[in-house]
Structure 1
Amino acid sequence: MERKSIDQIKRRKPSGAAVIRPELTKALFRALFEEWAQCGYGAVSLERVAARAGAGKAAIYRRWPSKLEFVCEAIQRVGLTLSDFDDHGSLGADINAYLRTTRAAFRHPLARKIIPDVVAERMRTPEIAVTLNSLAAARRAFGSRMLDRAIARKELQPALDRELALDLLISPLYMRMIVHSKNTAMAEIDRQAIAIEAAIKAC
């Protein structure tokens, strides 16, 4: 019998455990949010999520041992990309960029349906509350760096009430778009940015 060459062995496709494909993982997250927006968290079906993503239910369980862990990772991944915390040269410009990116996220039809349900679910599901608290801490850390830049530019006093300042960054836009379900034009974003900057400087 002819012995197989080393090159043939190297070309052999891997067997055993299925390879985790990033594009399918992304499709599963998207399908989860679509299902969540349509049904609410309590009625989310992993079978339907998998079908939406063009996969079998096993594709979910290869990645996450439970629906809860699937949901928590999805929230964590998406939540950190909803706002712009980059340096735009001034506190006012930083706030304006932050609001514009957040506005775009809040305008997404899935986000507008899911975010209120996530907030409600945190009261019922401790694991989701832990995930949201971790996400909030990470986002506030990014926001705190924005404040540090403003302090370094001497736009803010070092002794400002940092927690209040961080609350002010998001509260007006969240109330307008999520709580009251109102559209927010760019002119309104500009007005909010001016008002928030003034309020933070008074903290």
Structure 2
Amino acid sequence: MTEKPHRRGADRTEAIMRTTLELGQEIGYTKLSIEAVAARAGASKQTIYRRWSSKGALLLDSLLSLNEPTLDYPDTGDIVADLRAQIHSAVDLLGRPPFGPLFKSLIGEAQNDPQIAAALNEHLITPQADKTVARLKKACDQGQLSRAFDLDLAMAILSGPLYFQLLITQEQLTYEYVDRILDALFTGMGPAQAAKPSGPVA
């Protein structure tokens, strides 16, 4: 039986993305090229350019297609536990090749390439931020969080220290660091406690 065209196309796309990750890990993003990917994957440059406008777009799709499921949130009813589990998973993902080193390279490329910045925001940053805010909102509706807290700001406070350590100081992200962020954030983000009487009741 002849293989169906759409199956052949899916297999070719998967092979191209797998090759992109392999080559990116071997030679780094700077030396990565569409020509090199095409040669190893056994595809033409035209085939690749029909699907992706640049190596940055190709790398972004490759990273997302192979790793995106690990970035979903659990929902156990405990907002702190769910945030901790999701962020620990993200730390694991960012700490291992090929995703971690290539993601950092992609962030760097986005500073000089508006198209990559837009694609990164559209396909990864914004969807993840929306998932975080949605999970925080549900916890707020359940009374686990203060209704007065700005949820978009909470998302930024959660992610900011991680990007700072990953990209600026380039220290290793650890579970302990994540837990410190959560402890600091939820000290001020929890629901208000009823004030206790300061003296004896008459």
Normalised by the shorter chain, which TM-score bucket?
A: 0.7 to 0.9
Give the aligned partner of residue 15 of structure 2: 27
Q: Distance in 2 between matches of 1:66 and 1:113?
A: 22
Q: Distance in 1 between matches of 2:44 and 2:188?
A: 49
Give the aligned partner of residue 128 of structure 1: 116
Contact 1:100–1:189 at 8 Å: present in 2 too?
yes
The 10-residue stretch of structure 1 (55-64 or 130-139) with the greater mean CA deviation from structure 2: 55-64
Q: Distance in 2 between matches of 1:178 and 1:166?
A: 18
Structure 1, unaligned runs of 5 or more: 1-10
Matches within 5 A, 1:5-16: 13=2
Q: Distance in 2 between matches of 1:114 and 1:156?
A: 35
Equivalent residue for 1:67, pick from 54, 64, 67: 54
Q: Distance in 2 between matches of 1:32 and 1:108?
A: 16
Q: Distance in 2 between matches of 1:43 and 1:125?
A: 17
Q: Distance in 2 between matches of 1:71 and 1:36?
A: 8
Q: Distance in 2 between matches of 1:17 and 1:180?
A: 45
The 10-residue stretch of structure 1 (163-172 or 24-33) with the greater mean CA deviation from structure 2: 24-33
Equivalent residue for 1:86, pick from 74, 80, 90: 74
Q: CA 1:188–1:136 in 2, change beyond 3 Å: closer, same or farther?
A: closer
How many percent identity over aligned positions? 23
Give the aligned partner of residue 200 of structure 2: none
Matched, 1:193 2:185: no
Shift in Å, 1:80:
4.0
TM-score, normalised relative to structure 2: 0.74
Contact 2:19–2:37 at 8 Å: present in 1 too?
yes
Shift in Å, 1:150:
0.9
Higher relative contact order (CA 8 A, sep 6+): 1
Q: Cα deviations across residues 121-170 of structure 1 (Å, max 9, x unaligned)?
A: 11221211110121322111111111112112201133321221011222
Q: Distance in 1 between matches of 2:90 and 2:52?
A: 31
Structure 2, unaligned runs of 5 or more: 192-202
Shift in Å, 1:97:
0.7
Equivalent residue for 2:129, pick from 136, 140, 146: 140
Q: What code does the residue aligned with 1:56 have?
A: A
Q: What code does the residue aligned with 1:74 have?
A: S
Equivalent residue for 1:100, pick from 83, 88, 92: 88
TM-score, normalised relative to structure 1: 0.74
Q: Distance in 1 between matches of 2:52 and 2:84?
A: 40
Matched, 1:112 2:108: no
